[in-house]
């Protein structure tokens, strides 16, 4: 698919990159078969192939329009299309660039810009989220049911120190933003589980949001500032020999794994960013390569449905890793279907596209419930909160199962 790049983009590295990505598409349409929005709306412009044509038109015309904005906004960036694509089109990267062009064009309404600015002001900061959650819990009795169900209960973490083995290996854990405020038990459980395996998790307090919120909302420079801050915060521990950087939220994990690519043209940070990406691992990757016999026969055996987030299955290409880990420790797994389809959370998507998100949520809950599980587990905070708001059974982060005794 040839792109005749508009002269207005001649100095834009991102636009030239997008043109190369568009040209790798052979417009076969296989992607539409696994695209959740296309399967829901059956509009060519709401499938990856159609959105690629819209981006191509922007690159050639030099301007965005309301049609392109609407259909790019409807994309979940679940990247199921990348798993399906026979040509290896990096669609996730392409749509990020397309959204940046849309935002720079000034095509959005004042209301849209305000909402997106508020999300970027709030979500990447755990203290701000904590205040918001506290207010929500305080006023929960008088809130409408639709709002009340989206407020997670307060979690109490174990503050008692756990003695690490004398030969402990060291890994860095990303504290994150939403997860650290809404479900702090996740990283708390990860620390205890890994300490039983002789691995010590350390957290750099100066690190924060992985940068995904701002970056995927089109504020690329702002997102990259978060990236650089994290690299600076982690580098002393990397220099000290930390063997991995762990993200317990798969959406953060895929972002950290992309640091090297995102900063490849940054003369000051490119080498460090590449090293950070090499060290980045999802928690399931770590445990999948460890001896888990210490957990066998020590855990409750509740029938469990596994929801593999898109960021783990399609973004990190680690589909099946959760099932393997839970199978090794003897957790009985329930049958599910349509595992490749998104639950509708997708970062800020559930807030910006609530109707589509709700339909995808109901479809995903039905797919996870066909075998009557006693609980649902996932690997990403957004999915956990989204599913948990309406699930009839508890929804947890999977690491909490290994922390049970």
What is the tens place of the pLDDT at every residue in 167-195?
A: 579 999 999 889 988 899 999 999 999 99
CATH of the domain at 256: 3.40.50
pLDDT confidence bin for 370, thresholds 50/70/90: very high
* 385 shares its domain with 314: yes
The pLDDT of residue 348 is 93
For 312-362, the pLDDT digits (tens) are: 999 999 999 999 999 999 999 999 999 999 999 999 999 999 999 999 999
The pLDDT of residue 63 is 86
In a domain, 1, yes or no: no
* 186 shares its domain with 275: yes
pLDDT of residue 82 exceeding 70? yes
Which of 8-17, 216-225, 271-280 has the largest mean confidence? 271-280
Return mean pLDDT, the chain: 91
For 114-166, the pLDDT digits (tens) are: 999 999 999 999 999 999 989 988 888 888 887 788 888 888 777 554 444 45
Query: Comparing 106 with 321, which gets the higher pLDDT?
Result: 321
pLDDT of residue 245 exceeding 80? yes
pLDDT of residue 84 exceeding 90? yes
* 98 shares its domain with 189: no
* 304 shares its domain with 352: yes
| pLDDT above 90 coverage of the chain, percent | 77
* 246 shares its domain with 323: no
* 315 shares its domain with 398: yes
Instruction: State pTM to two decimals.
Output: 0.91
* 87 shares its domain with 182: no
| pLDDT above 70 coverage of the chain, percent | 97
CATH of the domain at 26: 1.10.1060.10
pLDDT confidence bin for 85, thresholds 50/70/90: very high
In a domain, 156, yes or no: no
The pLDDT of residue 146 is 75
pLDDT of residue 398 exceeding 90? yes
Cα distance between residue 172 and residue 200, in whole Å: 8
Mean pLDDT for 45-56 is 95
Domain that holds residue 134: 111-148
């Amino acid at each position: 698919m040839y792109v005749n790049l508009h002269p207005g983009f001649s100095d834009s590295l991102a636009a030239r990159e997008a043109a190369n990505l568009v040209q790798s598409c052979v417009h076969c349409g296989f992607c539409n078969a696994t695209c959740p929005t296309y399967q829901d709306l059956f509009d060519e412009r709401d499938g990856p192939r159609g959105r690629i044509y819209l981006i191509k038109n922007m690159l050639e015309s030099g301007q965005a329009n309301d049609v392109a904005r609407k259909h790019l906004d409807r994309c979940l960036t679940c990247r199921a299309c990348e798993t399906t694509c026979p040509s290896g089109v990096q669609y996730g990267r392409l749509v990020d660039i397309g959204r940046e062009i849309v935002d720079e064009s000034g095509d959005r309404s004042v209301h849209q810009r305000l909402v997106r600015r508020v999300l970027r002001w709030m979500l990447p900061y755990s203290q701000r989220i904590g205040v918001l959650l506290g207010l929500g819990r305080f006023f929960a009795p008088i809130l409408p049911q639709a709002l009340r169900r989206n407020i997670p209960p307060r979690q109490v973490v174990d503050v008692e120190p756990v003695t690490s083995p004398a030969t402990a290996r060291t890994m860095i854990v990303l504290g994150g933003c939403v997860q650290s405020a809404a479900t702090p038990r996740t990283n708390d459980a990860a620390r205890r589980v890994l300490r039983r395996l002789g691995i010590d998790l350390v957290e750099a307090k100066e690190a924060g949001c992985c940068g995904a919120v701002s970056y995927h909302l089109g504020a690329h420079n702002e997102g990259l500032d978060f990236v650089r801050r994290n690299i600076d915060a982690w580098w002393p521990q990397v220099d000290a020999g930390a063997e991995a950087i762990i993200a317990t939220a798969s959406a953060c994990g895929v972002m950290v794994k992309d640091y090297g690519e995102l900063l490849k043209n940054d003369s000051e940070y490119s080498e460090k960013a590449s090293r950070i990406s090499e060290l980045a691992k999802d928690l399931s990757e770590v445990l999948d390569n460890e001896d888990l016999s210490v957990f066998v026969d020590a855990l409750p055996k509740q029938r469990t449905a596994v929801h593999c987030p898109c960021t783990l299955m399609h973004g990190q290409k680690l589909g099946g890793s959760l099932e393997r880990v839970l199978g090794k420790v003897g957790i009985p797994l329930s049958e599910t279907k349509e595992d490749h389809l998104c639950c509708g959370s997708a970062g800020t998507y559930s807030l910006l596209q609530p109707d589509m998100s709700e339909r995808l949520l109901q479809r995903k809950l039905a797919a996870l419930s066909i075998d009557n599980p006693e609980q649902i587990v996932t690997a990403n905070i957004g999915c956990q909160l989204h599913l948990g708001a309406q699930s009839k059974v508890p929804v947890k982060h999977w690491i909490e199962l290994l922390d049970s005794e």
